[in-house]
Structure 1
Amino acid sequence: MELAMAADDLKTVVNRLRRAQGQIAGIIRMIEEGRDCEEVVTQLAAASRALDRAGFAIIATGLQQCLIEPETPGTPDREEMRARLEKLFLSLA
């Protein structure tokens, strides 16, 4: 399943991923500096949410494409596509 995202959607997802990347780098520094466990876990949760939101945005785009684009020869049928998208969604849940 190919994913073609609109420029605005792509920018949003990439920004979320960059934010998570920065948070993870910060978490590594916190651990290396021996920072408080509660602060580290709080930042881990924030990074995890950022990654989840990026994943959900990608899945939402896939759902939108699946519903809008007509079936063409060689592409999975709607039921197969639904099952694949459901599996992706559940992998983030």
Structure 2
Amino acid sequence: MFVLELTYTAPLDAVDAVLPDHVAWLEEQYARGAFLASGRKNPRDGGVIVAVAEDRARIEELTAGDPFVLAGVCAYRITEFEATKTAPELERYRVPPG
């Protein structure tokens, strides 16, 4: 699993100009099963996405296609982790401890 932390690198008006395209891109990733949860940070200086993929290279490829990245209004920090404990709904993403 991956935690994707977005940090805005441009003023909010520039972010908001690209927001509809970013939301459409998010919807595509949810439909493909790559994203499990997402939302804005509070205060609104970026966002967080919980994602799944076969490897980090795939996540890097996905984030490179985010309209926010293409417009130069955000940067990503990608953290990979092994989910050894989850809510029942996320059990299929669990990795045995060890």
TM-score strictly above 0.5: no
TM-score calculated relative to the size of structure 1: 0.31
Q: Quick check: which one's helix share is greater?
A: 1
| Higher RCO, Cα 8 Å, sep 6+ | 2
Computing the radius of gyration from Cα coordinates, the structure with the larger value is 1
TM-score calculated relative to the size of structure 2: 0.30
